[in-house]
Amino acid sequence: MKNEKKEMLFWEHIEELRKHMIHSLCAIIIAMIILMNNQYVLFDYILFGPAKTDFITYRILKNIFFDGHYDTIPFFSKNLEIQNRQIFGQFNMYVWTCLIGGVILSFPYVFYEFWKFIKPALSDEERKYSRGIIFMVTFLFVLGIFFGYFVLCPFLINFGYTFRISSFPKNIFDLSDYISLMMNSMLSMGFTFLFPLFIYFLTKIGLISYTFLKEYRKHAFLIILIIASAITPGDILSTIIVLIPLLILYQLSLYISRKS
């Protein structure tokens, strides 16, 4: 009877997990359908925004560093040319982008469902430390998405367009490469910005400490530099752009672990 009870409890957990997964999947599908019905906004205004000369990041940098003199700026002078070379290329990108966009859009709710599943297993002390976690996860994730979209993507696109091995070949971006660059950059930064929260929980359960993070700071800097180089195409400017917030996040993690 004892083993039967344990098996029953196990299957109850599986059933509960299945329920939360179905809710999460429904949220992703609903968000995906919303994006599919707003195709013009998603692609023309959002995803293809950094491919246009009047994108807000370019306008801000032009006004700050070049006093509005657009004829001497190191950015592209006309909207990028993006081509599709596959028969179903645009349709495949349409479905895939809306799916990934649905995951991003529904991420706060998906995490809420995940948190509802694991919360009953936490002790009262662990629940106390995790107050406001849904808000913090959402805030850091959205902050990372915004950084990837408004800062990282424009610099990556600009580097890819302006770098030339010769004046002979033209830089015309492929649709799939451009969309993949946009989505991967935003997602990678969105999850990277969750790093301080991850450190917070590792500190609380005793796996790491402030002393450990401080002692291995130089090693962490090397790892962060490798991550920044992996995310970016390898040029110094783009690497620095990613490196700075990652270092800030590490210092924030040090502060969090010290206060914990």
User: 156-160, 220-224, 231-235: lowest mean pLDDT where?
Assistant: 231-235
Query: pLDDT, tens digit, for every residue of 139-168?
Result: 999 999 999 999 989 888 888 888 788 888
In this prediction, residue 223 carries a pLDDT of: 81
The Cα-based distances of 137 to 95, 123, 140, 202, 256 in angstroms read 27, 20, 5, 15, 15
Query: pLDDT, tens digit, for every residue of 175-216?
Result: 999 999 999 889 989 988 888 887 777 777 667 777 777 777
In this prediction, residue 234 carries a pLDDT of: 61
Query: pLDDT, tens digit, for every residue of 19-64?
Result: 989 999 999 999 999 999 999 999 999 999 999 988 998 888 877 7
For the chain, helix (H) and strand (E) counts, in that order, are: 12, 2
In this prediction, residue 8 carries a pLDDT of: 47
Higher pLDDT, 161 or 69: 161
Tokens 């914990």, located at residue: 260
Amino acid at 95: V
Hey, what are 221's tokens?
Answer: 């800097």
The stretch 70-89 carries a mean pLDDT of 77
In this prediction, residue 6 carries a pLDDT of: 45
In this prediction, residue 199 carries a pLDDT of: 78
Domain residue spans of the chain: 2-193
For all residues of the chain together, what is the average pLDDT? 82
